[in-house]
Amino acid sequence: MTETPARPPAGQPVPELFGWEFATDPYPAYAWLREHAPVHRTTLPSGVEAWLVTRYADARQALADGRLSKDPAHHAGPAHAKGRTGIPGERKAELMTHLLNIDPPDHTRLRRLVSKAFTPRRVAEFAPRVQELTDRLIEGFMEKGEADLIHDFAFPLPIYAICDLLGVPREDQDDFRDWAGMMIRHGGGPRGGVARSVKKMRGYLAELIHRKREELTDGPVPGEDLISGLIRASDHGEHLTENEAAAMAFILLFAGFETTVNLIGNGTYALLTHPGQRRRLQESLAAGRTDLLETGLEELLRYDGPVELATWRYATEPLSVGGQDIAPGDPVLVVLAAADRDPARFEDPDTLDLSRRDNQHLGYGHGIHYCLGAPLARLEGRAALGTLLTRLPDLRLAGDSADLRWRGGLIMRGLRTLPVEFTP
């Protein structure tokens, strides 16, 4: 099969991708790609070449296509340019075997094991704790009349929530907050501080897993946390090595952390810049209703979700996506943010409509890698946005929204800071 890379129409330059303006508002560029070059070969800032898939129908198909592997070993590029999920430190062999880097049958086995431990019941039982955390964080800045919602609220909430879920003792959770802070501030680069933080986190998790395994064998009271659940699941005939357990804990932390920070950050920002929609939501919450909060949370994910591009996929054989031939070894990046604004799938896609019903967005992915933590993300999102709007009814942006800076990363989309003010 000959490869025929999509070419933009003559005389029409491809809009600049990955620059500063693009980081602030990538949607016009994505609209252009959807229309003119829906499966587009580009050079990423790292120098790696990859295909961007931007239409909804193609994106959905690609996410569920078994010929697109998650295993970076399938990447045809030079070793130094191998694609990654964007998770700092993941090249360390011990943390590589996680769900987002593997295919069936290993993926099926590990996903089944973690699903046994990460049950909807465990998540539902967690609701009071998430509410308590949300209230405590808001009370921490409520008297001041101002806050940076990323630093003071969106960032700590998911880290403490995941630590609790995993079973990290409370006295150690501030260490996690520091390590995670280092990683989110410096992104996936191999800088010293990040590498040190990953190393500390890895060491801590390995020790915690070891300790919990011993507690489960010797101790009188088996833990109810997720790590204990993982160990127990592995003890029922199926195999989960300590490395796999550590990689699992690590991916839960990573997949569930920056995503939720951005859900709260991007979601609050969208509400504060759409006063009519925000008023409707506030009125419905004041009337004791939660239906608009529920549809609204899905709409915020569609409109400006935390995951801009799904994590890396690699063609294992020649295939065609949206009529474009793709060669084995080529990386394929599915642009969730572009697919979720596709006018062929969503009516008025650039309009935020919190009551949108026909809303099968791809914000949590699709297919076998569909977000495992979606119930937890929804729980945290509902608590965070619902409580913010209820307890700080006149919440508003402090300063000009044009001054806000977006984090420039490939996979995630989120604000660096979100300064707000309100009546104390």
**Rounded to the nearest 5 degrees, what angle is found at the Cα of 57, between the Cα atoms of 51 and 61?**
70
Number of residues that bind ligand HEM (CB under 6 A): 26
Q: Is residue 99 within the footprint of ligand HEM (CB under 6 A)? A: yes
Q: Is residue 305 within the footprint of ligand HEM (CB under 6 A)? A: yes
- Please report how close the Cβ of residue 348 comes to ligand HEM at its closest, in angstroms: 22
Q: Is residue 97 within the footprint of ligand HEM (CB under 6 A)? A: no
Nearer to ligand HEM, 122 or 274 (CB): 122
Q: Is residue 310 within the footprint of ligand HEM (CB under 6 A)? A: yes
Q: Is residue 156 within the footprint of ligand HEM (CB under 6 A)? A: no
Distance (Å) of CA 337 to CA 133, 135, 161, 301: 30, 31, 26, 9
In the range 8-67, which residues lie near ligand HEM by CB under 6 A?
63
Q: Judged by CB under 6 A, which of 246, 263, 300, 383 binds ligand HEM? A: 263
Q: Is residue 414 within the footprint of ligand HEM (CB under 6 A)? A: no
Q: Choose the stretch contacting ligand HEM; rule: CB under 6 A; options: 8-16, 86-94, 183-191, 368-376.
A: 368-376
Nearer to ligand HEM, 82 or 191 (CB): 82
Nearer to ligand HEM, 70 or 278 (CB): 70
- Please report how close the Cβ of residue 373 comes to ligand HEM at its closest, in angstroms: 2
Q: Judged by CB under 6 A, which of 100, 154, 245, 249 binds ligand HEM? A: 100
User: Which residue's Cβ lies closest to ligand HEM?
Assistant: 373
Q: Is residue 413 within the footprint of ligand HEM (CB under 6 A)? A: no
- Please report how close the Cβ of residue 65 comes to ligand HEM at its closest, in angstroms: 11
182 half-sphere exposure, CB direction, 13 A CA radius? 19
Q: Kindly list the residues in this chain that would bind ligand HEM in the complex (CB under 6 A).
A: 63, 99-100, 111, 162, 251-252, 255-256, 259-260, 263, 305-307, 310-311, 363-365, 369, 371-373, 376-377
